[in-house]
Structure 1
Amino acid sequence: MRRNIHIIIIEDEPATARHLEYILKEINPEIQITKCLQSIAEATEWFTLNDNNYDLIFSDIRLSDGLSFEIFRKVNIKKPVIFVTAYHDYAIEAFRNNGIDYVLKPFDKEEITRTIFKYHILIAADSEKRQNEKASLLQKLQNATKHYRKSFLIHYCGRLIPVEAAKINWFHTANEIVYAHLSDGRQYIMEFTLEQLENELEPTLFFRANRQFIINKKAVEAVEYFFNGRLLIKIHPSPQDQIIVSKAKAMTFRKWLDQ
């Protein structure tokens, strides 16, 4: 971790910028703070004139004249960015703007050490690996921040019945009608397609096994090897039709079931 890194700090609070600089120097005395920028206007002008004279950016998000993402929309910045902010709300946007990490204020030496170590790991990797990691982190953030269905309000015999999503063991479609099956044997007609349900259900709990079935992990009793690399899924309560996972989806299904 002794490589000489040239860092830009974008921070409108001078005391915070000084504190960050002090910690960075403690971590590695060879780190050079090339410039401290305090606003969108100042940063946009500087980056326009200084294309590649630095290695890494530490940037606050809420600045005195707006959100720092505006800088990255105005200037084509190719260097990695570590966002440092007091707010949770901008994580996804941060990773869409060259972000490699998201540090919450107030930060300490341990957190900055960790993020600098992560920077070294990333620059040591090839470009494709970095892009894959960014895509994976972004997907995890999107999954974490997306609100999945907790329950359904189902029409049944002239009534509306609330049913918790987690209590539905499996969904299946037949004759263009989608049914929900509960562990106690009850069955309800759903006003959704399987495609809609797939997007609204928690992906760590529900899996689209094939074109006919979405299954709840808690309902899986056993998995048997089937013909040609396929898998036969045994669930409770048992459906009339067999649930077969294709060879192409078998590995994904096994990873889902094992996490």
Structure 2
Amino acid sequence: MTSLRIALVEDEPVTARNLAHMLQSLDENIRIVTMLRSVKEATAWFSEQEDGYDLAFMDIRLADGLSFDIFKKVSIHKPVIFVTAYNDYAIEAFKNNGIDYILKPFDEAELQQSLQKYESLVRPTATGAQPNPAKLAALLEQLESNIKPYKRSFLVHHRDKLVPVETNKIAWCYTAHEIVYAHTQDNRQYIMEFTMEQLEQQLDPSLFFRANRQFIVNRQVITEVDFYFNGRLLVKVKPEPTEPILISKARVPEFKSWMNH
């Protein structure tokens, strides 16, 4: 049986490897032909490999920009499945025009549905039809306009006032007793009107890491990382929190990759 050649565009190595593993566990005929980590790498590869793949999986947010930038620099004529944390109404347009999407964190059932969608789309393609580049560009522009940038500041309540807090000044966010706090680098603390999950979506992942259910930490305040019990890591920061910031053994590879980014 002919193999299905897939190109992955994902800037988090752990996520890329997990996606590759899940895809190949679903279909032994799947072959990952490349793993690309940036707009620059992907643009160069796709410009030279027009027929070197059958399907692409692309994360929307990459280290050096949005994956939409790839389409502005090189023509993509093969189906694309976007990997995104944004469940936006505009994405529905892709589902009706030969492009699918999966939401992070994804599972095998979602991947299976996306692969089935691809199979249904390639049947007409096999007869000579190709996705419409102009329609694709319009859809990309529509989706791009609906993706909000990461937060640069938060307006928070403090002593009967509204105080702007710059995002890059936040040392860490933590939750206790169902209340979420932001602790700044100058040792101030504010109550946030968001859940930890909502904050995680609004903070730039190149700067902030979800250490565990209780903490999100800013890489700028990390002073050192120590080995801890049972394969965990202890993240030391300044200013210091009252409770330790621990990285579970399962998340250590992802954390190391993030720190090395």
TM-score normalized by structure 2? Answer: 0.49
Work out which structure has the larger RCO, using CA pairs closer than 8 Å and 6 or more positions apart in sequence: 2
| TM-score under structure 1 length normalisation | 0.50
